[in-house]
Amino acid sequence: MAETGFKKWIITITVITASLLELIDTTIVNVALPHIQGNLGATLEDVAWVVTGYAVANVIILPMSGWLGGRFGRKNYFLTSIIVFTIVSFLCGNAHTMNELVLFRIIQGVAGGGLISTAQAILLETWPREQIGTATALFGLGAVVGPTVGPTIGGWIVENFSWPWIFYVNIPVGALAAFCTYTFVRETPKDAKGKPVDWWGIILLAIAVGSLQTVLEKGESEDWFAKPYILILTISAVLGTILFIWREMSTEHPIVNFGILRHRSFAVGMFTSFILGFGLYGSVFVFPVFCQNLLGFNAQQTGELLFPGGLCTIVMMPFIGKMLNKGIPAQFMATAGMFLFYVFTHMLAGSTLATGEKDVLIPLLIRGVGMALLFVPLTTLAMADLKGPELGQGSGLNNMMRQLGGSFGIATLTTIIHIRQGVHRNNLLTNINPYNTPFNDRLHMLTQGFMAKGKSMLDATHMAYQAIEGMVTRQSMLLTYDDAYWISGLVMLFSIPLLYLQPFKKLKAATDAH
């Protein structure tokens, strides 16, 4: 039964706040890694596990969250996740060694995996079915804006305080969310209580999803299959996935109910959520690297550039929800969102070394509108046919696919950047020869400039070649990032036909009592 009045809104604010804790922590740590590395005396490889450990634990728990909510009660599981997340946030900030911090981040990831999907399931049960568009829009405020504003908040905290405070800020917010959850959220039946635990399913899920996420997180930095452990994890991911699906389809009490894939909207929605994650997390990854490595912005400036787009998403979300409630087909709105995302990448793919803050503002605002048009309709389409216990299962699987899409996006774009930079560099170097008039003119001009500053002919020539080497490097990097933007946009554009595999329906037609 849906809630009404004040209670409906206080539960809505509570679950959005709790999900924001998890989503912001996905990206807020990234800007603090150099500070953590220096403070704890760790290598870059070691400190990367602060992010990887959290992501792996998070994505393992996501598909299990529906089963855990059914076994222990959705309210109990949600409340426990908030409390554990809050306590471990303090432990992360108080960690004295890198091993401690990685361990606490893994536990934080386990608790965080229970926040986002359970929050979405609670929200969808709190609002009437005919207002599912509004409920999804409100949840989307956290899901889309969280990863976007995380670097902004992290950059500001690190610049003005110290890195432990990126964890300490969770404590008062988590305490308030726990109190409101205990006071206002209604308990749901413990559907799985007393039933056998599918331990083999849990083990196979951990192996399959954990191995896959680790490969995606560490593959590029480890030169992919050049490292034996990446190859072993890839094999275990493939075999684990096959065995896990077989186990869950054959056991009487699965931890992941693949039976919900009988709903065509949800089955197709798994793929569209994957594409959404690819675009959302991939663009949030590429843009800061592009700004800081090439345009010379610091972390706080980059975060401030992303903020107006996030604000645009916040403003648009309620309007998108109302449009869905009025019966405008979600497929049409998502198509517009995918097209706007393509426009965003098309504009940034034309960047030059002279690109400034004003040049990227409009594309980022377009991305903000596009993300609002994407998240709400795509999630609404995927979840519209699910009811009761299926909500928790569907929410977990849907959020897992979005997270995996983000990991695939980051891994793919990182590999493309690595490969294409070498290709572009080799192409540009073909112009560095004594038979190329523009090269000779530039070399002569630079040499004369250095000689005018008192350098000898030999030193001036050497410095001129170094300057040209720097130009080639920067130009090859620019062309590489342009490629990454193009590929992100094309993936989104070519995914539009998937939307029309989902049936058209008005939300009010799906109204059901829980």
Domain locations in the chain?
1-190, 199-254, 262-417+484-509, 423-476
Range 262-417+484-509 classified under CATH 1.20.1250.20: yes
Question: Measuring CA to CA, how many Å separate 478 from each of 270, 298, 468?
Answer: 34, 18, 15
Cβ proximity of 174 and 85 under 8 Å:
yes
In degrees, rounded to 5, the angle at the alpha carbon of residue 302 between the alpha carbons of residues 296 and 306 is: 145
- Report residue 433: phi and psi, to 5°: -155, 155
**Cβ-contact 318, 137 below 8 angstroms:** yes
- Kindly state the helix (H) or strand (E) to which residue 484 belongs, with its residue range: helix 457-494
Amino acid at 213: Q
Q: What is the pLDDT of residue 93?
A: 87
Residue 338's Cβ-count burial label (10 Å; 0-12, 13-18, 19+) is buried
**pLDDT tens digits, 309-346:** 878 888 887 788 788 878 788 888 889 999 999 999 88
By the 8 A CB rule, do 379 and 139 touch? Answer: yes
Per-residue pLDDT tens over the stretch 109-126: 888 887 877 887 788 778
Task: Give the pLDDT of the chain (514 residues) as one tens digit per residue.
Answer: 566 667 788 888 888 888 887 777 777 776 677 777 777 776 656 677 787 788 778 878 878 877 788 778 888 888 999 999 999 999 988 888 888 888 998 899 888 887 877 887 788 778 776 676 677 777 777 666 666 667 677 777 777 787 888 888 888 888 998 898 888 887 776 665 667 777 888 888 888 878 887 787 777 666 777 788 888 888 988 898 888 888 877 877 777 777 777 888 888 888 888 888 888 777 777 777 777 777 777 666 777 777 788 788 888 877 887 888 787 888 888 899 999 999 998 888 887 777 777 888 888 899 888 888 888 888 888 877 777 677 777 877 887 888 778 777 877 787 787 788 788 888 878 877 777 778 778 877 888 887 887 777 788 888 888 888 888 888 888 888 888 888 888 888 888 888 888 777 655 433 343 3
Q: Which of 122, 115, 136, 156 is nearest to 507 (CA)?
A: 136
Interatomic CA distance for residues 9 and 168, integer angstroms:
27
Alpha helices in 161-260 (DSSP H): 165-168, 170-184, 199-218, 228-250
Please give the pLDDT value at position 145.
Answer: 67
Give the rounded distance of the alpha carbon of 170 from its chain centre.
19
**Residue for token digits 């959302």?**
280
Domain 262-417+484-509 in the same topology as domain 1-190: yes
User: Residue 508: what pLDDT?
Assistant: 46
CB 479 within 8 A of CB 420: yes
User: What CATH number labels 1-190?
Assistant: 1.20.1250.20
Residue with the two structure tokens 């590999």: 415
